[in-house]
Chains A and B, each alone.
Chain A
Amino acid sequence: MSMSRIRLLAGTKKGAFVLVSDGKRERWDISGPHFAGWEIYHLKGSPADPNRLYASQTSGWFGQKIQRSNDGGRTWEPVGDKFVYDGVPGTHQWYDGTQRPWEFKRIWHLEPSLTDPNTVYAGAEDAALFRTTDGGQTWHELPGLRGAKGHLWQPGAGGMCLHTILLDPGDPNRIFVAISAAGVFRTDDGGKTWRPVNRGLKSLFELPDPDAEVGHCVHRIAMHPSRPGVLFMQKHWDVMRSDDAGESWREVSGNLPSDFGFPIDVHAHEPETIYVVPIKSDSEHFPPDAKLRVYRSRTGGNEWEPLEKGLPQRDCYVNILRDAMAIDSLDPCGVYFGTTGGQVYASADSGNTWNPIVRDLPSVLSLEAQALP
């Protein structure tokens, strides 16, 4: 058993919480709420300096703030929060068929660089990608992304948000992002130019043209760092995979009880082992049969097994949001998820058995796991 410690970073509707355990992952110390009363959409540590954390703090009243910690979340300082679209903001599709100007609402996701603690990417609603290279003091848009047919993007019910940012560990110039409801986009030149990579996605009930180039409601994408060309996706409906860096996608929903859901994640040491949490439908955002079950595939999709030991198997009506699942890098890897009911569940054995770390947090918006020496 490793002597590492695990630190979980939970963003909730009413503040941030930091959960720490030793490598056994049985007993947890919980601190918080940090930024009590504010919505914390996401917080994440730098892979290059795990005590450097960034948090997105938002409020319907008081707007967007970004906080930074240099000591693993004990103390925080506000940094820059001026997110201004590059040049003339331009327009996107609106529900009534008209074009509507981009308008900044909040940051959904912060993705620190793999190598530099002062470089961070931020995914915004209305969808755009920003970057800081000075530790969060100033942010600049990478406007080429909105050039990838941005005028055809249209918000889904959750808002037109850029919610997933995957940095390719093998190629610093390659980044994938996912946007609701626009799809997946890829750059191969460090963010200057982008193109949609959605071939193979089919949205029969969401789009008039089911295999349109943009407009798909991608909920989440995930990769294993050892194989950055293999991507897994939980779409609105359908679990998908790509073996060619998004050039083509195929469905791997297989025997899932429902292929609707939000998060998807990959095992730390087995790149073909993936996790989803099936949700009954887009109109009923709770688990099928009121049983909370994570599904694991050890074959990269298609064949799925339910993981339910320790999870509620009756009267369960919570949802698990797209950024609220995390994997740690210990062996065996830990799997974690937070619910809209405020529970955080942990498995220290790759999903075989589960325990609640805490049951009554505010609704969990996001969860990240860090392994510390």
Chain B
Amino acid sequence: MIRVVLPVHLRTLARVEGEARVEVETPVTLGSVLDALEERYPVLRGAIRDHGTLCRRPFVRFFACEKDLSHEPPEFLLPGPVAEGAEPLLIVGAMAGG
């Protein structure tokens, strides 16, 4: 079970209380977790990654185990603690000034 922490606006949109949880087969990659998340919560399609290109939206960041994974490719293997469900993948709305 992979744990995913969504930003508040996406929790509201997807009607998720607390953390989202998705089942992903090994190997657990950044792309496979996002695919599973969008499968479980279709309203998140286009809100994290662009429709079509599946590129990360500019003001969305991916953090895990105190590392910024935002620039990693979809096939990037998530750290062991995330794959084992001990730590969450954080999806974060970037700070944008103000």
Q: Which A residues fall within an 8 A CB radius of B? A: 35-38, 59-65, 78, 81-82, 84
Contacts and interface: CB of A to CB of B under 8 A. Distances in A.
A61 B9 contact: yes
Contacts of A78: 13, 43
B63 to A, nearest CB: 15
Contacts of B10: 62
A36 B12 contact: yes
A61 B46 contact: no
Interface string B1-27: 000000111101100000000000000
Interface string B29-49: 000000000000001011110
Nearest to B8: A37
Contacts of B7: 61-62
Contacts, number: 45
Interface of B: 7-10, 12-13, 43, 45-48, 50-52, 57, 59-60, 93-94, 96
Nearest 4 CB-CB pairs, A to B?
Answer: A62-B47, A61-B59, A78-B43, A61-B93
Nearest to B96: A60
Given A38-B9, A61-B57, 6 more contacts: A60-B59, A61-B9, A61-B94, A62-B48, A62-B57, A64-B46
A84 B52 contact: yes
Main SS at interface, chain B: loop
A64 B51 CA distance: 10
30 contacts: A35-B12, A38-B9, A59-B9, A60-B59, A60-B96, A61-B9, A61-B57, A61-B93, A61-B94, A62-B7, A62-B9, A62-B10, A62-B13, A62-B48, A62-B57, A62-B93, A63-B46, A63-B47, A63-B50, A64-B46, A65-B43, A65-B46, A78-B43, A81-B46, A81-B51, A82-B45, A82-B46, A82-B51, A82-B52, A84-B51
B60 A62 contact: yes
A61 B96 contact: yes
Given A36-B12, A37-B9, A38-B9, A63 B57 contact: yes
B13 A61 contact: no
A60 B98 CA distance: 14
A63 B12 CA distance: 15
A128 B45 CA distance: 22
Contacts of A64: 46
Contacts of A37: 8-9
B47 A65 contact: yes
A61 B10 CA distance: 10
A81 B47 CA distance: 10
B10 to A, nearest CB: 6
Contacts of A35: 12
User: Which of A60, A63, A64, A81 has the most B CB atoms < 10 Å from its CB?
Assistant: A63
A35 B96 CA distance: 20
